[in-house]
Each structure stands twice: as structure tokens, then as C-alpha cells.
A and B are shown apart, each in its own frame.
Chain A
Amino acid sequence: MIELRNLQFAYGESGFRLKIPELCIPQGRRVCWIGPSGSGKTTLLHLVAGIFSPETGVVKTCDVELTALRDADRRDFRIANVGLVFQDFALLDYLCVLDNILLPYRINRGLHLDSSVRERAQRLATEVGLGDMLSRRPTQLSQGERQRVAVCRAVITNPKILLADEPTANLDPGNSMRVLDALDSYSTHHKTTLVVVSHDREILTRFDDTIDVSEFCVKSQLMTSGSKDDG
């Protein structure tokens, strides 16, 4: 469950401002956030994940009030509950596919990497068609394969919320469908709340709800499209 109340967020003096009186996404729902570039989609995603803190208002994710937590606690919350998929995949070139999927376990002391996790990583990779590519480097993969690795990495920790920032922006239609199918499938099987940020209206039918983030965006006359935030 994601709950936002009386939320306000601004980027310094830029004039960009998000104002959200109330927004609620029940657990297990699949939601797509749409809006033009610079409307604050990615910013909102970061607020929900606890990466950013709002100026005012309350952000509650999985019944935890993130706005009341310290930076380190928000990080711990993120590790335990949130899976993130990035637009540019954000894979590490120096790690193989398997190690990229296992990365959350390597960078968080709270997660313990054992053989069962490794087996799960291999299983996830197989499910998305990467079973025989585990030892390859990201540079040896196609764009679609890379994004599927990124999806596996996001779900390896069994998150309660899956946040995907423009996951299909760099993909052709075929690969876009495969990636969305993978997200859908995981969300359905694990009753995970799925939030996908996109400006591709053709994919909206796959989701339970669609929210136009630009409705929450307040911009001053100084604000230029795309500044500070691509989302």
C-alpha cells in the first residue's frame, strides 16, 4: 500500500514543485504513472521509495511512514521492501549477469547471500529467458536482455513494492512487451504493488489504474521542460 497526504516537494530555486493532496495505491495494484517529460514522475517515484524526502506532508509505504524515518532507516526500508527498475538499466559492466542480479545482496549488510538466493537468481533468470547467459557481461547482451536482468535484480529480494522508472523507454516493442510481461507476472504471483512510470500511452491497458502525474505538478514561469528531472 502506498499513501501520500498533503505532500509538497520542490527542487531548490528551480520553481518545480509537486503538490499532492492525497494519493492512495492499495497493495497488489498495478498502476501506471504517466505524464510528459519534466512532470515529476521520477521524482514521485523517488519520494515513494524514500530516496527523496518531501518538504511537507506524509509518505506512507507498506504502512511505514517514511517521512518520519532517518536517512539510514529509509535505506533499510528500501532494501527490505522496494524493488527498483531504472530506465537505463543501471547494470554494472564489470559483473556477470548472475552477479548483477545478486547485487542487492552484495551491497546491503541486511541481506544474506546463500545458495538458496543463488538458486532463486538462476530461476528468475531462466524465467525471463536468460538462463544460459548467467556468465555473460551486460555489454554482451541486447537492450531487452539487459532490462530483463534489471527486472530480476529488482525482484530478487522479494519486494512488496516494485517501482519501474520508464522500463521500456530504450526498448523496441517486442522487448518492451517481454519486460512488462515479466513485471506483470511477478506482481501477479507475489501480490506486489507495481508502479510503472511511462509516457507510452499504448501500454496503459495492462494496468489496473493510470495516474497522470502532471496534475500534481506546479511549475513557475522559470521552469523549463526537462530541467532537473527527466521524469
Chain B
Amino acid sequence: MGDSLFLAWQYLRHNRVTTVVLVVSITLILYLPVGLQVIVHNAEQHFRSRADSTPLLVGPRGSSLELVLAGLYFDKPYDAVMSFKELRRIEKQDLGKVIPLHTKFTARDHRIVGTSAGYLNLRGMRLTEGTIWGMLGECVIGARAAKRLNLQVGDKIPVSSSTAFVLDNPPLRLRVVGVLAPNETPDDEVIFVNLKTTWIIEGLGHGHAQGAKHGSPEAELYTDITKENVSSIHFHGSFDKFPITAVIAIPGSDKAETILLGQYFSSEETVQIVQPSEVMDGLLEKIVMIRSYMIAVIALISLVTLLTITLVFVLSIRLRRAEMMTMSKMGCSRYKIASILGSQITIILAVSAIIASILAVATNVYSPLLVRLFIL
């Protein structure tokens, strides 16, 4: 067997291009279905775990999936809003905890999420540096956002003016007071602020020199909220009418959950309540279906590739007929010739299988990153 392997290896080494093409083809045939399975499985887990840890989500009527994506993943702009009184409505009934979310604004391409400290507790997030916001205008930044924007505690980040309602004034600058530990979720990309800070960004609240009248030159709006001027911050209008994107509701009991779910059936309701896990189940069913289609397509392509590879092997054997004849004349048995050819196939399959396995393991290890890069 050693001699057969030696001769097979020498042949494969000599015909490097053919060997590499064969190895790459077979590696892909072996890896693609497994790699796809691993990535989809991890994506499923990722989606499901976040949805499962968010009991109920209340938001404006419309697509429940878009609401869940906006409320859980902050992945794209979501302009639909509801009034803050919807949060109060749940709060008054004392059916559980409520966490507001306002996700309309961005700062240097990172979403600003206006919320309460309860959100950080819900997601089990901890700070690696600094503290949580204690004052308006302060923010706590996700790990990857901090890294990408090169921000530390004490740094300032201006709110993107394209999303903020600030007339004739430079946009508000948020002061970083804490950096969160990475948790491999969309929270890593987010800038968290107090809900009221997002209302200030929206122009519903502001601060200016004491006694100055609105519109007067003395009433220049502050771009930095400091200990000195925070007391001048005031809001115009009733909080109940102020906008929020969604409310995470954490019912205190099954009964409370049932009561909450039953409250939003009326066609006159302008808000909806969804169970993110159910919405994600619907999405994942589609993903599973797409995965099945993809695996079917990959299987078909693999079959064609496999047939082509078989053809390549057969043609290669035909081309080497003279060589086989010479060996036979020299006393080489048919078994030995088969062993040499078999060794060639074995080496190619073994190398392909090893590479495919390494790729599969790497995919599994790096799937959170891949899911984040390609799916989220």
C-alpha cells in the first residue's frame, strides 16, 4: 500500500493543476451543504434566542416582522412611531415591566436607542468601562461601535444631523459615559441613551440661557448638555404625545400576558402587540424552506460536479493506458494497478474531506461573526 500511495502521490504532485481543481471541487461538494447547515442553524439560534428573551413587543400597527426587526435587531430605519401614552397604558395596569424603545436616530451610522436601564438588565449587558447614563445627553456605547468609532469614556459623538430635528443649530453631541462588554448581538453596534435624550434629539426638548425667550439671540440651543446647563433643559408638550418606536413588555404572569395580548385585537387600535418568538418562528420557517431549496440546488450541482469528476478520472485512466500496459508487462498485477489508481482517488478524497472538515469547524467557530456579517 505504501508504494501505491507513493506512486499516486507523485502522480498527483506532478499534475498539480488537475489535482487542485479536483480537490477544490470535491471540497466544495462536501463543505457547502454542511457549511450552509451550520450557518443557518446558528442564525436560527441567534434569532430565536433574542426573540425568546423578549416576551412581548408593542408597536405601531403594520408589519409585525418589521416591528420585531426594528425592536430587537435595530437593523434598519423604522420610521413608524406610536405615542408614549401606550407605555403608560400598560404601566397603569400593573401587568408587568415595560421598557421603551426609540430607534429613530443614528450617530455616525450607528443606531441610537433611547430606552431605560431596564433594557440593559433584560439583555444581561454589563459595562467594561464607565457607568450607565445618569444625565440627559449621556450615552452608553456597544462594544463594536466603540471599537469602530474609536470612542472611550469621556469622548463625544455628534448625532447625525440628517436624522435629527435641530433647526439652525449644530446637532446634539452625546457624551460617552460607559462602554458595554461585547455580547455578539446587535446591541454591540448600538449607542444607548435615556429615552428623553432621543426626544431632545428630536427637538421636543432643549436647553438655553435662563430667561431667554425662544427665537431670541440669547436662546441659542446647547449642543452639549453639561452639569451647568442640564437644569435649563425643558420639554414642550405632554410626554404622552411624544413618540416611541416600541415597548418591550415583560408580563408578570401568564394571566398578565393573556390580558395584554387580548387588548390589541380591536380594529380601531393603532398599535399592535406581538410575541417576537412567534414572529421569528414564521420567519425561520421561511429560512428553513429557503435552506431546503438551497440544499436541493447544491445537491444537484454536486451531482453534476461529481459526474464531471468521475469523467475526469475515467479520461485520466484512459490517458494513462500506455503506462498501465507498461506496468502490466513489467509484472504489475491488476490489483496493484487498481491500488495505485484507488490511492489517487483516496488521497484526493481524504485531502478534500480534511479541508472540508476544517472549513466546517471554522464555520461553526466563526458562525456568530458570519451571521452578523451576512445575515444581520
Contacts and interface: CB of A to CB of B under 8 A. Distances in A.
A86 interface: yes
B330 interface: yes
Contacts of B323: 90, 92
Contacts of B10: 94-95, 99
A107 B329 contact: no
Interface string B1-34: 0010011001101110000000000000000000
Interface string A59-92: 0000000000000100110110010101000101
Nearest to B3: A106
A193 to B, nearest CB: 18
B55 to A, nearest CB: 67
* Contact count band on A: 20 to 34
Contacts of A76: 331
B317 interface: no
A103 interface: yes
Given A49-B329, A86-B326, A107 B336 contact: yes
Interface residues of B, number: 20
Nearest to A150: B326
B331 A104 contact: yes
A108 interface: yes
Nearest to B7: A106
A222 B322 CA distance: 28
B333 interface: yes
Contacts of B327: 103, 107
A51 interface: yes
B15 A94 contact: yes
A90 B324 CA distance: 10
Contact of A72 (B15, B333, B340): B333
A94 B14 contact: yes
Most buried by A among B14, B15, B330: B330
B332 A51 contact: no
Interface in B284-331: 322-323, 326-331
A104 B7 CA distance: 12
A14 B4 CA distance: 38
A93 B14 contact: yes
A201 interface: no
22 contacts: A46-B329, A49-B329, A51-B328, A75-B331, A75-B332, A75-B333, A78-B330, A78-B331, A79-B330, A82-B331, A90-B326, A94-B10, A95-B10, A104-B331, A106-B3, A106-B7, A107-B327, A107-B330, A107-B331, A107-B332, A108-B331, A108-B336
Interface of A: 46, 49, 51, 72, 75-76, 78-79, 82, 84, 86, 90, 92-95, 99, 103-109, 113, 137
